Amino acid sequence: MEFSYFIYQLIIGLSYSMLLFLIASGLTIIFGLLNIPNFAHGALYMLGAYFTYFFLHSLPGVSFGIALVLAVVSVGLIGAFLEYVPLRKIYERSHALQLLMTFSFILILDDATKYFAGTDFLSIAIPKLMDGSITLPGDREMPVYSIFIIACGLVVAYLLWLGLYKTRLGKLVQAGTANKEMLSALGINVPRLFTLVFILGSVLAGLGGGLAGPLKAVSVGMGETVIITIFAIVIVGGVGSLKGAFIASILVGELNTFGVVFFPSFAMAFTYILVIVVLLTKPEGLFRTK
């Protein structure tokens, strides 16, 4: 492979990685602090795409950016409800039961979406500003929107890093991820913190969905197609580790990209092979937090 093609594929892979990171970051933060494996994270991602479509097409003169913000807020509200009403009842229960609960959310959210939006595929156009591509050396095209996704991923990663390491709230989240008893000992309103973090995670899932919208067929069930990959990323990176999710997203994204180039017939298995290799060498993920 010539070097320029290698670099080209690297960037292509990075745009997929960053999309995965946007979704996985929310899941790992929730899983880390609340200790809930939220299987419905993919459904929230789907809702992000649907809400973006809905706001873009039902409100006159709304741009993609505004629709995205409205969508993210809506998904955050739904997340707040899910945390506040059903999830709160089962914090002390087993992971298995929590998984089943969040699985029931998928069934409900999927069918509710089908009821309101119908079963036809919906399509969100790439915003005019970011349509098209720039030509790289070797007459290769790089879509502007993919570059935008990379930028979004990096900005969100930076903001989350700032939020987690530089603010009081972030430090509480970190402390709570490492040791839950400490929070109550500090006299923190733990339930409120949990709600806030669940909203943050939902917002990130919704953002991922809204940004993925222009690259995907918006459809019921689109959450289930990503959720296992997202869980794999969270586990490979280490539950609760933002850095881990970032690195693991890049690993999964690049592995899928280069895997397709070199070993196309194993494409279905890449993510699982990565999970097996990483977990057999590092049983608690790349960056364990507790």
Partner 1 sequence: MPPKPQNLKNPIIWFFASLIVLWAAPLFLPTFYVYLITEILIVSLFAVSTNVLLGFTGLLSFGQVAFFGSSAYAVSLLIKGTSLPFAASFFISVGMSALAALIIGLFCMRLRGFYFAILTLAFSQIFFVVVYKWTSLTGGDDGIVGIPKKPFLFFNINGPDAYYHFVLLVVMVSLALLYLIIRSPLGEVLQAIRDNSERTEFLGLQVRNYRLASFVIAGTFGGVAGALFAPFQGIVTPELLHWSHSAEPLMISLLGGMYFFFGPIAGAVIFVFIKEWITGFTEYWMFWYGLLLMLLIMYLPGGIMGFVSEHLKRGKDDSR
Partner 2 sequence: MAKKQITRREFVKVVGSGALVAGAATFGVPTLLRAANKPIKFGQLNTTSGIMASQGVPAMRAAQIAQDIINQAGGIMGRKLELVQEDDQVKPSVGVRKFRKLVLEDKVDFVFGTNSSGVGLACVPLANEFKKIFISTSMSDKYTGANCSPYVFRIGESTCMASKASAYCMVANAPTVKKWAGINPDYVFGRESWDFFKQGMKDKNHPVEYVKESFSPFGCQDYKPYITALLESKADGVFTSLWTGDLINFVKQAKPFGFFDKVKAFVNNTTAVATSIGLGNEMVPFWGEARYYPFYRDSELNRQYISMYQKKFGGYPAADTGAECFASVVALKLAIEKAGTTDTPKVIAALEGLEFEVPEGKKWIRPEDHSGIDEVVLLGKFHHDPKYPFWVYDPKTYFTVPGKEIAMPLSQTGCKMAKP
Binding site for partner 1 (CB under 8 A): 37, 86, 89-90, 93-97, 99-101, 103-108, 110-112, 114-115, 228, 231-232, 235, 239, 265-266, 268-269, 271-273, 275-276, 279-280, 283-285
Pick the closer one to partner 1 by CB: 95 or 171: 95
CB of 250 to partner 1, least distance (A): 19
CB of 234 to partner 1, least distance (A): 9
CA angle 81–86–91, rounded 5-degree value: 115
Residue linked to tokens 């969508």:
71
The sign of the torsion formed by the CA atoms of 122, 226, 177, 150 equals negative
Alpha carbons 204 and 35: distance in angstroms, whole number: 17
CB of 87 to partner 1, least distance (A): 10
The partner in contact with residue 63, picked from partner 2, partner 1, none with C-beta cut-offs of 5 to 8 angstroms by kind, is none
**Does 256 interact with partner 2 (rule: CB under 8 A)?**
yes
Q: Of the ranges 4-12, 24-32, 91-99, 272-280, which one interacts with partner 2 (CB under 8 A)? A: 4-12
**Does 12 interact with partner 2 (rule: CB under 8 A)?**
yes
The partner in contact with residue 221, picked from partner 1, partner 2, none with C-beta cut-offs of 5 to 8 angstroms by kind, is partner 2
Concatenate the DSSP letters of all residues of 169-227 into one string: HHHHHHHHHH-HHHHHHTT--HHHHHHHHHHHHHHHHHHHHHHHGGGS-B-TTHHHHHH
Q: Are 234 and 247 in contact (CB under 8 A)?
A: no
Residue linked to tokens 């915003």:
127
Pick the closer one to partner 2 by CB: 125 or 185: 125
Residue linked to tokens 């509480």:
172
Pick the closer one to partner 2 by CB: 177 or 219: 219
Pick the closer one to partner 1 by CB: 105 or 246: 105
Token pair of 10 as six digits: 């690297």
The gap between the terminal CA atoms of the chain, to the nearest Å, is 41
Residue window 85-124: x/- pattern of binding to partner 2, with contact defined by CB under 8 A? -------------------------xx--x----xxxxx-
**Does 221 interact with partner 2 (rule: CB under 8 A)?**
yes
Q: What are phi and psi of 22, to 5 degrees?
A: -55, -40
Q: What are phi and psi of 61, to 5 degrees?
A: 70, 15
Q: Of the ranges 74-82, 181-189, 198-206, 213-221, which one interacts with partner 2 (CB under 8 A)? A: 213-221
Q: Are 30 and 195 in contact (CB under 8 A)?
A: no
Q: Are 98 and 90 in contact (CB under 8 A)?
A: yes
Which residues sit at the interface with partner 2, rule CB under 8 A?
5, 8-9, 12-13, 15-16, 110-111, 114, 119-123, 125-126, 131-133, 140-141, 143-146, 214-217, 219-222, 224-226, 229, 253, 256-258, 260-261, 264-265, 267-268
